Chains A and B, each alone.
Chain A
């Protein structure tokens, strides 16, 4: 029997970007277990689904990607979720803030789909299936 693909949570308040990220996640050979549009829903989905990776937009209503990231890291049940932050802010300060919040990787928008696919593969490599 084939192993189940790594499970990925996608959170972005922009419908088009969320769909694009979902597409990249599937191209990376992963399954989108939840695609949500705000930070509160992202937290709830992460607690319920225990994904291998959460791809979070930084600027979201409810709770920002940075807040979601910090909360997930603080809770033992979700502390191990890999986190990839996506943001329209691309300055070194933005990246530093993202990494300080506990993210594993940071990708500035606009991103190349090929790069996102590669990052998702890299971050889910060896993930529990």
Chain B
């Protein structure tokens, strides 16, 4: 070794030492970073686990609704205690072993088009679907279940399968059927004696060989009026049950609404005169035709007019105004035609009656609801007329609106497409 080489070597050693120190510092920094990432990962994992645990515990806590998750082919992946309870099979016997379609009534599925496609078609098109399906338990019991179907995605947002959330409606539907049968039976059983009462009354009232005294005629006319009232109530109850059961159908034809309004006026004229209420009718001279069920539209008009008369004190006025109008694309009804607006018929039944408190107007179309003003003024009724009128209007694609000021009067506006 020469003397000149010694300082060079010392420098090199120094440089290497520094490099080692830098690398050690870098290593410590990286280790620190790694530890930090590790901690972060652990926290994230714990959070994910907690979230999954929350989800599982929520799903497991649902014991009265079946939650069934499948993959895209309908193979079951999620089966909660609600599903175990409803269909009587433990999770281990079902998950990855059975498909959702195995629990459906085959005939019903077939009728809907068959297979998983029939179950998920609407959910696929509209994002969700809720309807009644019949599940069949392993022991053959058929259950009516209201099933909400939604598509399921994985963490990347790709379609992963389907969720089927079911509520057992077997008892509810059975009760509904029973109620329907009960109403039909009762209405039949009430109409039969009413047939006798009204039939024999007619014979007595119209017997030219044995004329009645004026007093007898007055008494029997009162009996007849009340029997007719009972008959209308039975009809209303039956109609309401039909709407509930989805058995309410329209017999559409071209109907002159002006004639319907005049007929309603005719029906109400005597009652209005007796009550000291003036009846005014404004209809277009040439009539106003709509497509609808003449009998049901007549019933709707009769209800509105008889209500208006009932709720108007002596000396008041009921006005029926029928006119052509137009419904714009945003739903407003205007007097003059506009581009894109559809022609409608608008019937306004206005009275100068007791009115309906503002806070009660929302409930007005609910069945059996009676406004406090109706009860306070002892106006007879059971609260079915407006519910029925609303059902008829809706079935015709129309709308029924109310504007009312207490102690000033009420206007019901029935709007029907033309």
Contact = CB atoms under 8 A, between A and B. Distances in A.
A22 to B, nearest CB: 11
Contact of A16 (B196, B206, B235, B242): B196
A17 interface: yes
Interface string B232-255: 000100000010000101010000
A111 B194 CA distance: 10
Interface in B194-240: 194-200, 202-203, 206, 231, 235
A110 B231 contact: yes
Given A17-B196, A91-B242, A23 B203 contact: yes
Given A17-B199, A88-B187, A93-B249, A109 B192 contact: yes
B291 interface: no
B249 A92 contact: yes
A113 interface: yes
A88 B199 CA distance: 14
A17 B249 contact: no
Contact of B251 (A16, A92, A114): A92
Contacts of A16: 196, 200
A113 B203 CA distance: 7
A74 interface: no
B188 A88 contact: yes
B204 to A, nearest CB: 11
Interface string A4-16: 0000000000101
A113 B192 contact: no
A88 B200 contact: no
Nearest to B242: A91
B196 A89 contact: no
B249 A114 contact: no
B206 A111 contact: no
A113 B242 CA distance: 28
A59 interface: yes
A89 B200 CA distance: 20
Nearest to B191: A88
Interface string B331-343: 0000000000000
A14 B203 contact: no
Contacts of B188: 59, 88-89
A114 B192 contact: no
B206 A114 contact: yes
Interface residues of B, number: 20
A26 B203 CA distance: 13
B202 A112 contact: yes
Contacts of A17: 192, 195-196, 199
Interface size band for A: 10 to 19
Contacts, number: 48
A100 interface: no
Given A16-B196, A17-B196, A20-B196, A109 B249 contact: no
A109 B192 CA distance: 7
A109 B187 CA distance: 11
Given A88-B192, A91-B242, A110 B187 contact: no
Interface in A104-118: 109-114
Nearest to B197: A110
Contacts of A112: 198, 202
B200 A20 contact: yes
Contact of B198 (A14, A90, A110): A110
A92 B248 CA distance: 10
Contacts of A59: 188
Contacts of B251: 92
A108 to B, nearest CB: 9
B372 to A, nearest CB: 35
A111 B249 contact: no
Contacts of A14: 192, 195-196
Given A59-B188, A110-B231, A114-B202, A88 B195 contact: yes
A111 B195 contact: yes
Nearest to B239: A91
Interface of A: 14, 16-17, 20, 23, 59, 88-93, 109-114
Interface of B: 187-188, 191-192, 194-200, 202-203, 206, 231, 235, 242, 247, 249, 251
Given A110-B231, A113-B202, 20 more contacts: A14-B195, A14-B196, A16-B200, A17-B196, A17-B199, A20-B203, A59-B188, A88-B188, A88-B195, A89-B188, A91-B242, A109-B192, A109-B195, A110-B191, A110-B194, A110-B195, A110-B198, A111-B195, A111-B199, A112-B202
13 contacts: A14-B192, A20-B196, A23-B203, A59-B188, A88-B191, A92-B249, A93-B249, A109-B191, A110-B197, A111-B195, A113-B202, A113-B203, A114-B206
